[in-house]
Amino acid sequence: MTKQKYKVAIIGASGFTGSELARLLSQHPNIEISHITSESHAGKAFSELHPQFLGMIDQKLESAAVIEEAELDVLFLALPHGVSMDFVKKWHHKGSKIIDLSGDFRLSSPEVYQEWYNKEHVFTEGFEKASYGQPELFAEKIKQSNLVANPGCYPTASILSLAPLFAENMIQNHSVVIDAKSGLTGAGVKASENTHFSNVNENFKAYGVGEHRHTIEIEEQFSCLSDGEVRVQFTPHLLPVDRGILATSYAKTKKLTTQEELTKLYEDFYQDKPFVRVKTSPPSIKDVRGSHYCDIFPFWDKRTERVIAIAAIDNLLKGAASQAVHNMNLMLGIEETAGLNQIPLRP
Catalytic residues: 153
Q: Is 347 in the site for a second copy (CB under 8 A)?
A: yes
User: If residue 136 lies in a helix (H) or strand (E), which one and from where to where?
Assistant: helix 135-144
Q: How many Cα atoms sit within 13 Å of 130 on the Cβ side? A: 28
Q: Region of 143 please: left (phi>0), alpha (psi -120 to 50) or beta.
A: alpha
Q: How far is the CB of 105 from a second copy (least distance, A)?
A: 24
**Could you say whether residue 189 binds a second copy (CB under 8 A)?**
yes
Closest approach of a second copy to the CB of residue 304, in Å = 5
Binding test (CB under 8 A) with a second copy, winner from 241, 332, 334, 338? 241
Contact pick of 144, 198, 260, 333 for a second copy (by CB under 8 A): 198
d(C-alpha 252, C-alpha 231), whole Å? 13
Q: Residue 71 burial by CB count (10 A; 0-12/13-18/19+): exposed, middle or buried? A: exposed
CA angle 217, 104, 329 (to 5 degrees): 85
Of 146-175, binders to a second copy (CB under 8 A) are 174
Residues 243-272 that bind a second copy (CB under 8 A): 243-244, 246, 248, 250
Q: Which stretch binds a second copy (CB under 8 A): 30-38, 136-144, 147-155, 231-239?
A: 231-239
CB of 85 to a second copy, least distance (A): 26
Taking CB under 8 A as the rule, does residue 184 contact a second copy? Answer: yes
Which residues on neighbouring strands pair with residue 45, listed in sequence order?
A: 60
**Shortest distance, position 283 Cβ to a second copy, whole Å:** 7
* Cβ-Cβ contacts under 8 Å for 52 (sequence gap 6 or more): none
Any contact of residue 207 with a second copy (CB under 8 A)? yes
Please list the residues that pair with 237 across neighbouring strands: 181, 206
> Which residues, numbered 13-72, are part of the site for a second copy (CB under 8 A)?
16, 19, 23, 26-27, 50-57
Contacts (CB under 8 A) with a second copy, residues 113-142: none
- Candidate ranges 5-13, 31-39, 149-157, 234-242; the one touching a second copy (CB under 8 A): 234-242
Task: List binders of a second copy among 285-324 (CB under 8 A).
Answer: 285-291, 293, 295, 297, 299, 301, 303-304, 306, 308, 310, 312, 316
Contact 107, 217 (CB under 8 A): yes
Closest approach of a second copy to the CB of residue 279, in Å: 8
The Cα-based distances of 285 to 80, 147, 273, 312, 313 in angstroms read 25, 30, 19, 5, 6
257: amino acid identity, one letter: T
